[in-house]
Structure 1
Amino acid sequence: MTRQYAVARPCFVRAGTGFEPTSAALSGWGPNMVAGPPVLGLLARTIEVDFGDSDFFAARLTADLFRPVRAERTFVGSRVIRWGNRIRLVEAELIQSGEPVARATAVFYRKSRNSPGQRWADPRVPKPPAATEYPDARLVGTSGDDSVWVPLPCDGPPWSGAARKRLWATGWSVIDGESPTPFARTAMVSDLTSLVANSGTAGIGYINGDVTLALTRLPIGNALGLEARSHHACDGIAVSSATLFDRSGVFGECTATGIANEPRGASSPTPDLESAEPGRRVR
């Protein structure tokens, strides 16, 4: 039987000391642009490879997407900002043509015991699709109270309305030939906060310039979900959030800020920031 949905494929291949985007990494915003999830995945992978420690947990990742990431040779660099006994703060960046195009900071906390006492927690848990429903589909979605999941992208429901949206991603990976880690996979999906929270009756109304991922644990298995939690907008600026979940429950939150999606060419100028300071490790 012919598949009616897409299966996830690696977003980068190794190329010397850098990486080349594959067709799976391309964005719908322009023919030569890399989508946000691969950017987040490569940043998260760099941080995890360079600074991962079994005694520490990466509780927060914040990525700033301040330049278009082109479909060309990409290098990664990283550095330590603070290396403490309980808290560690590190940074990674993507570099193209000698210039930084995206950057992420991560906070690692030393693992310990949960504090005693009881606190309020939202009892509601998003419901994933059945395990037998599109079992290896790259991305499926639903909206509102509808329990019907459909492969994405699609032109009709669940994305054409104003109801709460959710998605389920399976098998996402960053580097060809390299087993993806739960942290990198979660970082990739976190960039879709804008998709679930900023999509409405007139399409995706805002383009996110950053993403913050906050975790209490890593997802279990090779699939995870994202459900819109809030959306607020004023003067063309939006703040949105989404809940991360798997088949065992909620394990994190994502937030993103965005700017109104006004039509413009893919080659239009974008806000620029100063080049990164010297002293970075670049591979």
Structure 2
Amino acid sequence: MNTLDSEGMELAAALQEHAPRAPGMEPHLHAAITQTATALGSLLRARLVLSAARSHELPEAVALPLACAVEYFHAASLILDDLPCMDDATVRRGQACVHRVHGDATAILAALAFINRAHVLIGLAYAAHAPAVRVRTALLLDDTLGLAGLVGGQARDLRFGEGATDRREIAVIAAGKTGALFKLALILPALAVEPSAAEFRLLKALAVYWGQWFQACDDMKDVIGTLMNAGKDTGRDQALSRPNLVNALGPGAAQRRIDRLERQLARTSRNLQALGARWNYLAEFHAAITGRARARAA
């Protein structure tokens, strides 16, 4: 179980507060939702949203629900990813997967409940904003969660091996499965302050680099990690013939790729900060997550 800092505890409380629940709801579904809302990971995406929202001076009544919404999308994707028809995983975040405890059907319904709740939270957060901002929010959700993002990436992941299996295809899948949620976490809170074309371009580039970096680190963990330090099944990519940069390139080349992505992230972050102080939070956030990644690898 993770030891949470003050921000983590704040997010944990908000994730409980905003979780999808209703009086008299079916008890197995309630239990599956409770398990998901309390089995916390690093809260990386939620922390990114919260840092961005506070940097952009959004009210706390907006910042925390937005952070919860992105984390709910992420949690739902993990529930679905672990199903027997997907990765057939047994352990997630140090405990039995939701479908292993509550059954496949209940797990799917729990994922749908979190997705629905996330859409509601985002809609309420931006209800008072200009129509143009609400339209851009809707388009961002479609871009990051739909066929161009999470859904499309997972579909390609499932069929990996039937077509190209080179580094480019692995990168395309990573952009959908992992990069899309980083793009959502970066851009969703920024829409409220209507970034310039230059800022928007750099935000999208940063999301790509972060997604590729995080997925490469996760691939490394799948290859050389253990159940204890990963908190989930390892060795699954090779067993299921799924895309994995380390399996494709070897650990040495994959590590050089990770190092290069870190340099690209730092450069893009500096370029954004040069456009305004409201992007200063990015450098601190990047230093924190790369530090955690190195600590886990040590």
Superposed pair shares fold, TM > 0.5: no
Q: Shorter-chain TM-score: what band?
A: under 0.3
More strand by share: 1
More helix by share: 2
